[in-house]
Each structure stands twice: as structure tokens, then as C-alpha cells.
């Protein structure tokens, strides 16, 4: 009986120590607050409209003036007939402009109906045209240069035609 009693007495301090240990652990540790995962998302859309680039096909983009033997500075008309093809997206409107380089004197653009005759230099607008179905337009232009040629050859005068959408 005494032995049982002694055993029970020893158990009290052991239990107390265990309790003490638990309390100490809890009291020493600061209670951490977990970082909040507050976040948000947003969706951004992207858009684009793709249009086939307008372009011009010029069958002849240069012309050569034959040798002219003349001692008189007489105005001389040089004509070049060129066919241009406008490529673009049907329904869009394009502006065509042209420039003739390395040819002296006035430069003219004449459309195929000979109604409009406009200066053709410095990127002047020569035509504003809605691209029709089939996405191409054929135009015959007359590039005229009135000049008084000197002896020799004036050749490979470049004809530049630009086109862009409006």
C-alpha cells in the first residue's frame, strides 16, 4: 500500500513538469499571422485589323529618250505610256501619287480617259480611288515631259508612283 502511494506521489511532479513545459512553449512563441494571399486578376484583350497592303505594279518604271541630234533648243515632247496596276483590299480607298525624276521641264500625268491632266512631281496626288472588287485597278497613264533636249542621251528617268490607304 505504501509503495502504491509513493508511486502516485511521484506522478504528480512529473505531470506538473510536463504541463510547465507546454505552457512555456506557448508563452514564448508569438502567434504568427499568416500572410494574406489577397490578390486579384484582370484580363486584357488584344485586337488588330489586318489589311492587305496596297501596292502598284508598273509595267514600265523607266523610259529612255533616244539620242536627239539637234542644234536648236526646241521643246520636245517625250511620251511614255505605262500601265499601272493598283493592288489593294476591296472597299478601301487609296491615294496614288507619282514623281518623275531626272527629266527637266513640266511633267504630266494623264489618266486613261484623258480628262485629268495633272502635274506629276513631288508626290502630288494624282488619283484617289476606291479599290473595287477583285482588289486591282488598271490604269493607263501618259507621262509627258516637255523638254528641250541637249545633245546626248537622257535615259532611265525614273517614274515613281506611290500608293497608300486613306
Partner 1 sequence: MKLDNKKFLMLASAAAIVLPVSVVSAATTTIDATATFRQAISLTPMADMQFGQIEFAATPTTGDTAALNTDGTMSYAGNFTGAASGTPGNVQINTGTDGETVEVSCDTTATMTDGSGASIQVTGIGIETEDNIDGTTGTPCAGTGTPSLTFNLDLGNTDNLILGGTLDGSTAVSFAGGSFSTDNAGGDDIEVQVVYQ
Instruction: Give min distance, CB of 111 to partner 1, in A.
Output: 25
Binding site residues, partner 1, CB under 8 A: 2, 5, 9, 12-13, 16-17, 19-20, 23-24, 26-27, 30-31, 33, 35-55, 89, 165
| Residue with smaller CB distance to partner 1, 19 or 83 | 19
Instruction: Give min distance, CB of 16 to partner 1, in A.
Output: 5
Distances (CA, A) of 54 to 62, 91, 110: 21, 12, 21
Q: What is the DSSP letter of 139?
A: E
| Residue with smaller CB distance to partner 1, 37 or 72 | 37
Please answer whether residues 131 and 51 qualify as being in contact, where contact means their C-beta atoms are separated by less than 8 angstroms.
Answer: no
> 57 pairs with which residues across the strands?
85
Three cell numbers, residue 40: 486579384
Instruction: Give min distance, CB of 15 to partner 1, in A.
Output: 10
3-class DSSP state of 111: coil
Cell 494623264 identifies what position? 110
Instruction: Give min distance, CB of 87 to partner 1, in A.
Output: 9
| Residue with smaller CB distance to partner 1, 37 or 75 | 37
Amino acid at each position: 500500500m505504501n509503495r502504491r502511494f509513493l508511486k502516485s506521489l511521484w506522478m504528480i511532479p512529473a505531470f506538473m513538469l510536463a504541463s510547465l513545459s507546454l505552457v512555456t512553449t506557448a508563452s514564448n512563441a508569438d502567434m504568427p499571422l499568416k500572410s494574406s494571399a489577397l490578390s486579384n486578376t484582370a484580363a486584357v484583350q488584344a485586337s488588330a485589323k489586318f489589311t492587305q497592303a496596297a501596292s502598284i505594279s508598273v509595267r514600265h518604271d523607266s523610259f529612255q529618250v533616244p539620242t536627239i541630234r539637234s542644234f536648236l533648243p526646241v521643246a520636245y515632247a517625250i511620251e511614255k505610256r505605262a500601265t499601272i496596276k493598283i493592288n489593294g483590299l476591296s472597299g478601301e480607298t487609296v491615294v496614288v501619287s507619282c514623281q518623275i525624276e531626272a527629266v527637266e521641264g513640266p511633267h504630266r500625268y494623264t489618266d486613261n480617259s484623258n480628262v485629268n491632266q495633272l502635274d506629276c512631281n513631288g508626290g502630288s496626288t494624282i488619283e484617289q480611288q476606291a479599290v473595287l472588287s477583285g482588289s486591282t485597278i488598271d490604269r493607263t497613264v501618259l507621262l509627258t515631259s516637255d523638254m528641250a533636249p541637249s545633245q546626248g542621251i537622257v535615259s532611265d528617268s525614273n517614274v515613281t508612283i506611290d500608293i497608300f490607304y486613306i
